Every structure is written in structure tokens, then in C-alpha cells.
Amino acid sequence: MEPPPKPSNSLFEVYLRLRPSNAVGAERFLDVQDDGTHITIKPPPTDHRKRAVEKFAFTQVFEEHAKQLDIFKGTGVVPLIEGVLAADGSHGRDGLLATLGVTGSGKSHTILGTKSQRGLTQMALGLLFQSTESQIVQPTYGSNAVPSLAATDASEAQLFTASAFLDSHYGDNQSERGFNSRAQTPMPEYSSFIGPTTTRSRNIPRPSALPQTPSVQEVEVPADPNAEYAIVISMYEVYNDRIFDLLSGSGTNSKNGQQKRRALLFKSTEQSPDRKVVAGLRKIICGSLDEALMVLETGLHERRVAGTGSNAVSSRSHGFFCVEVKKRDRSGRGSWRGSTLTIVDLAGSERARNAKTAGATLAEAGKINESLMYLGQCMQMQNDNQEGNKQNIVPFRQCKLTELLFSNSFPSATSHHHQQNSSHRNPQKAIMIVTADPVGDFNATSQILRYSALAREITVPRIPSVSSTILSGTTAGGKSTLSSGRSSPTVSWEELEQATQEVARLTEEADILAMQLDDERERRLHAEECWRAAEERMTALEQEIRDECFAEMEERMDAERRRWKGAWDEEADRADEHFDRKIEVLVKGIEVHEDEEGEAEGEVRVDELERENEGLKRKLELLEREVQGRSPSKKQRILGKKKWSVPDENLDSE
Ligand SMILES: Nc1ncnc2c1ncn2[C@@H]1O[C@H](COP(=O)(O)OP(=O)(O)OP(=O)(O)O)[C@@H](O)[C@H]1O
């Protein structure tokens, strides 16, 4: 079985590294074939259910004796570095290096090393700085490198020089100022971690105390001679499907850092519309390997402290270490472009049943297993795509981990458009190092090998069946019988032998089918698990959407209520005014009515007075006529004296 030729769209090259085991007397279930690319695993003899021997193909298998430097040179890390340095003058190609394996199988050992040995990360950093030594930009206060780097950063990041960052983290916290990728602010240069006078509140990692071996001096990778380089480091972890910055200091700076940590988004930004980036990270510009190693140690410390604390040794999150290798024209003009080398230390898969975990840690283990299951699905899909003609879509959007790992593995949707211009990016090149303990947990290890291997083959060892044994014995007997001279139907013996062989073949086929059935059953269970997980996600999503809708509805109802109340008050005011006006009109109306009455009364009174006057006139005429009948002097006297009083008297008398 050959590993299938690697198609251009394949996600990973997959290497297997076996770790030396400490277990004494434990039986080995994994063997490496002579070609160095295949392994076979057979279930322990105690497992009666499974008899198949499974064979897996990898790009290369590294046995227990392989050293860190062997892995560094043999797993394609060097080509990844060549890709990001891009000596040919291009923008380079993103690289991804990840380790996958059961808990305790040696992932962190491989990628991050130990107290005495460097891991692939430190060696990769060493090679990057070694290759760009004379061309690396020193980020100092006043140089235009820092603000120009901040201006071209597409991820809304806060940029710090390593010295400022380390000073703010370990020193007196006075220099907590960064370059935002959107607004450039001049920043003073603090180099207190180098200077002898600074008081440090926490234990600053000392480069001299970090492992110095293995050295990568002998490895040579060319850099672009016409470029100046800047190396920008960021670190984050995926914990419970959420992204947290490992350089923000929130985990180590606060007592309850876990609560204060703010989850970041993986999204497209204004400056990066066609690629998703982790937005809002703290990024550190490192001018030397020592600075880079100190930043790395700081992030790793944060990862350990910010974790659950229940298992200090084991990685409880997926750790991402990103080295952006930026370059621009050596003259210092032009904008920064470049690519990123991402190194991932995946959390170990474990069986909740085996791991004595409970509560939050169990939920955390569940999330780790779920994300690794999705990763397994993606890798399985890659392998299926390689084996068959049908190209399935790799379902990498199922969780943060696979999204982060794979979203740059495919040409972006707009790459077609970009093909014409210089900003076109190649899909990233990725390497997966699977770590395994050949005497460890068979079930957990075989499960990981099954989905990570580039090819797989199952064989059932041929067990002589009872009938074939008997019949072969009978055949031998027949021959002896023949030699004894007894007549025997030779054709029947031949037929019987053929039939026996057919039975043996069918038995073997049945065994293989049974194995395949087992396998299918396992795949079905796996698929059901995925289905359940997807359903749970859907339910959670539905709930989230419902909550969102409800909140929006509430908000709208509130706004509507407020609007309605306003309108109601306005209407009430208007009605009051209207009412007041009506009353006014009514009052006026009443006044008018009163006047009319008065007028009428006046008229009546005038009439009465006129009538009275008429009566008086008549009486006066009568009196005059009466006076005329008397003497003139008397008449004068009477007229002079009684002219106006007489009527009254007359009226009274009347
Ligand atoms: N190749 C190796 N040679 C020597 N020791 C090893 C090797 N691989 C792993 N170890 C040791 O085994 C132990 C567990 O390894 P490590 O912490 O790397 O496992 P891991 O896969 O990262 O586990 P987890 O997923 O829980 O973080 C460590 O003490 C490590 O030094």
C-alpha cells in the first residue's frame, strides 16, 4: 500500500512520531514497516472483538530514537520557513505546523520542547532570525517601522515592541501603550528588561536559562536579499471554542483572570475582506531571537496560569503561536507584506471514561474531544478526497479550531479576482505531526491514527479453519490411500479440495466483511456523535437566535411603547387645550347670551318707560285741559308749581 500521491489541494502532510515509553512490561501494539512510511497496529490479545491488523501510511514515520533536530529537519518545517521568508521576492506562503495525539503522547514535547531541549517552535524561530539577521528591522522609538507596521496590520491589533511589552508585563506597568493598527501613536522605547535597574514584579524569563540546544546553525535558508524583515509575534488559545489572547496579560495580571479574559473574534476585517483573522490581538515586534523566546515563554506561562489549574501538566486548550514574517523594500519605503507561520499545540484527546474528570473539567474535555472530532472529520474528508474521484467539501466551519486551522488552506473566494494583482495569496502549506505511544492506550491511539493517516488498509490474519485443516488432512490421507492401491474417485478428491479452498476463501471474506462491518459500525457511531453534536449546536444556535430576536423585540416594543406614550401625552395635551378653548368659547357664549337678555330686558324696560311716558303725556294733556278751564293766574300758579309733580300724585292716586 503506497501513500496516495498528494493532490495540490490536500490539507496536510502527515508525519508520525513515536515516543519512547516508560511503561515497563507493557505490550507494544504498533510496528513500523521497513519503508519508514507505514505502520501496522494489532489489537492487544485481550481484545477478542477485534482481530484485524490495520496498516496506515504516513508521509514519514519517526521512531522512538528520533531526536528533536531529526524531526525539525525531516518533517518539512524548513520548507515552511522557506515559504514565509520568500527569497524569490514574492510575498511568501503561509505555513502551519500542528501536533495531534492522545494526551501524554508527546505533542508539547515535540512542538515546545522541554527544560533542556528546544522544541520545533524555538528551532523555527532560531532559523528565522538566523536567516534574516542582517536584514531584520530593530523596532526602536522614532523609527518609522513600528507605525508603518501598525498601519498595514489587517487585524485591528495592538502592536508593541518586545521591550515595551516585556516592560509592561514584568516591570512597573508604566509603558502599557501600544500601536493600534488603526491609529498610530508615538510610543516611548522601554528597554528595562535589558537594563539592570528595573524592578520586576514577576519572574521575567531569562534567555540564558532557556534551552540552547539543539542548534540549527547548520541549516541554511536564504532570505530575500532586497528586503528588510520584521518579525511580529502573537499568541492565542482556543479554550471551550472561544479564542483568548495569551499576550494580553489579563490571565496573569488579575486574581480572577479567567473571568476577565475577553474572547476575540475570528472574522474578516476592513483591511482583510477576503480572509478571516483573529481581531484585536496584542502583537509584539521582536528584533532578536532572545526577545522572541521571552515573548513565547510569557505566552506559555499565561496559557498555564489561565487554564483550569486542575491539570497543570496537560494542555487543556489548543495553543496557537503565530510568527508573522513581514517584509518591505530594503530602502524602507513601500508597505509591509508577508506571510505567517502558525505553530499549533493541540490539546490531547482523552476518553472521559478513562480520565477521572468531573464538572467543568469534564465539560472542557468534552469540548476538546468535540473539536478534535471535527478535526478528524476534516482530515478524514481529505483522505477520502484523495482516495476517490469525488471531491467532498471539507466541513471546517464546524468549530473554531477547524476554522482557524483550515480557513487559509483554500484559495479565498475572491482570489480569482486577486489573481491579476499582486496581493494574491497562495493557500497555506500545512504539516501535521501525529504523536503516539506504541504501548499506550490502543483504542484512543488507533482512533487518531485512523483519521489522520494518509491511507489505511485492513487485513484479517488467515486462521486455518477447522474444515480446511480436516480436509487437508483427509487429502493427505487420500494420497496415502491412493498409494496403497485402493481405488478412489480422484475427481471427487479434487472437487473436494477446491470446495475446501472455496470455503476457506469465503470464510476469510466473511471475516473481512465482519471487520468492515465493525468499521462501518464505528463510523456510523462517529457520524451519529457528529450529528448529535451538530444538533446540539443547532439548538444552542436556535436558542441564541431566539434570545436575540426576543431582545430585539423587547427593544422595539419599548421603543413603540415610548412612542405611543409620547403620542398619547401629546393627544391628551391637545385634547386639554381643545377643551379649554371650548370652555372659553362657552363662557363667551354665556356672556353673549346674558347680554342679549339684558338687551331684551332693556327693550322691555324702554317699552314700559315709553308706555309710561305716553300715559304721563296723556295725563299732562288732561291736566292742561283742566287748567285751561280755570283762571289764568291760577292756571300759571298751578303750572309753575305742579307741572312735574302732579302726574306722580295722579299715579299714586290711580
Ligand atoms: N519523544 C520523547 N522523548 C522523551 N520524552 C518524551 C517524548 N515525548 C514525550 N515525552 C515525555 O512525555 C511526557 C508527556 O509529553 P507531553 O506533555 O509532550 O504530552 P502531550 O501530548 O503534550 O500531552 P497533553 O495533550 O496532555 O498536553 C513529558 O514528560 C515528555 O517529556
Query: Is the separation of the CB atoms in 401 and 342 below 8 Å?
Result: no
pLDDT of residue 342: 92
Q: How confident is the model at residue 9 (pLDDT cuts 50, 70, 90)?
A: low
Q: Which of 285-294, 385-394, 440-449 is predicted least confidently?
A: 385-394
How far is the C-alpha of 643 from the C-alpha of 648, rounded, in Å?
10
Tell me the per-residue pLDDT of 382-403, one tens digit each, with 9 for 90 and over: 666 665 555 666 677 778 888 8
pLDDT of residue 551: 92
Report the separation in Å between the CA atom of 356 and the middle of ligand 1, taken as the mean of its atom positions. Answer: 19
**Residue to probe by mutation, ligand 1, list 17, 19, 237, most atoms within 8 Å of CB:** 19
Convert 318-344 into a string of H (helix), E (strand) and C (coil): EEEEEEEEEEEECCCCCCCEEEEEEEE
Q: How confident is the model at residue 421 (pLDDT cuts 50, 70, 90)?
A: very low
Cβ of 108 less than 6 Å from ligand 1? yes
Report the separation in Å between the CA atom of 358 and the middle of ligand 1, taken as the mean of its atom positions. Answer: 23
Query: Is the separation of the CB atoms in 318 and 371 below 8 Å?
Result: yes
How far is the C-alpha of 11 from the C-alpha of 432, rounded, in Å?
9
Cβ of 315 less than 6 Å from ligand 1? yes
Average pLDDT across the chain, whole number? 75
Distance of CA 25 to the CA centre of its chain: 44
* Mean pLDDT value across residues 33-44: 86
Among residues of the chain, what percentage have pLDDT more than 90? Answer: 15
DSSP string, 450-461: HHHSSEEEEEPP
What are φ and ψ of residue 434, in 5° steps?
A: -90, 130
Q: How confident is the model at residue 51 (pLDDT cuts 50, 70, 90)?
A: low
Helices assigned H by DSSP within 343-388: 359-387
- Closest ligand 1 atom to Cα of 66: 1
pLDDT of residue 490: 53
Q: Which long-range contacts does 144-147 make (Cβ < 8 Å, 24+ apart)?
A: 144/332, 145/230, 145/285, 145/332, 146/179, 146/187, 146/285, 147/179, 147/184, 147/186
pLDDT of residue 567: 93
Among the listed residues 451, 448, 396, 453, the one whose alpha carbon sits nearest the alpha carbon of residue 427: 396
pLDDT of residue 53: 79
Whether 343 shows a pLDDT value over 70: the answer reads: yes
55: which strand partners?
Answer: 40, 457
Report the separation in Å between the CA atom of 98 and the middle of ligand 1, taken as the mean of its atom positions. Answer: 15
Cβ of 106 less than 6 Å from ligand 1? yes
pLDDT of residue 593: 58
Biggest alpha carbon distance in the chain? 213
Nearest CA to ligand 1 atom 14: 104
Tell me the per-residue pLDDT of 221-273, one tens digit each, with 9 for 90 and over: 888 888 888 899 999 998 888 888 888 876 555 544 445 678 888 888 777 77
SS3 50: coil
Tell me the per-residue pLDDT of 89-147, one tens digit each, with 9 for 90 and over: 888 888 999 998 888 888 989 998 888 889 999 999 999 998 888 888 887 766 777 78
- How many other C-beta atoms lie within 10 A of the C-beta of residue 290? 18
Cell of 242: 472561544
Cβ of 83 less than 6 Å from ligand 1? no
Report the separation in Å between the CA atom of 78 and the middle of ligand 1, taken as the mean of its atom positions. Answer: 23
Q: Which of 98-107, 327-336, 414-423 is predicted least confidently?
A: 414-423
**How many CA atoms lie less than 13 Å away from 124 in the CB half-sphere?**
36
Q: Highest mean pLDDT: which of 146-150, 358-362, 385-389, 539-543?
A: 539-543
Q: Which of 440-454, 491-505, 606-620, 628-642 is predicted least confidently?
A: 628-642
* Mean pLDDT value across residues 78-97: 87
* Alpha carbon distances (Å) from 580 to 380, 575, 592: 82, 8, 18
Q: Which residues contact 245 (CB under 8 A, 6 or more apart)?
A: 234, 235, 236, 261, 262, 264, 280, 281, 282
* Mean pLDDT value across residues 70-92: 88
Cβ of 348 less than 6 Å from ligand 1? yes
Nearest CA to ligand 1 atom 15: 106
DSSP element (H, E) containing 110: helix 107-112
**Residue to probe by mutation, ligand 1, list 18, 109, 110, 238, most atoms within 8 Å of CB:** 109
Residue with cell 283742566: 626
Report the separation in Å between the CA atom of 449 and the middle of ligand 1, taken as the mean of its atom positions. Answer: 18
How far is the C-alpha of 59 from the C-alpha of 349, rounded, in Å?
22
How far is the C-alpha of 264 from the C-alpha of 242, rounded, in Å?
7
Cβ of 109 less than 6 Å from ligand 1? yes
CATH superfamily, domain at 13-411+425-459 = Kinesin motor domain (3.40.850.10)
pLDDT, greater one: 169 or 291: 291
Whether 61 shows a pLDDT value over 80: the answer reads: yes
pLDDT, greater one: 60 or 486: 60
pLDDT of residue 234: 92
Query: Is the separation of the CB atoms in 259 and 225 below 8 Å?
Result: no
pLDDT of residue 647: 47
pLDDT of residue 514: 78
- Closest ligand 1 atom to Cα of 311: 26
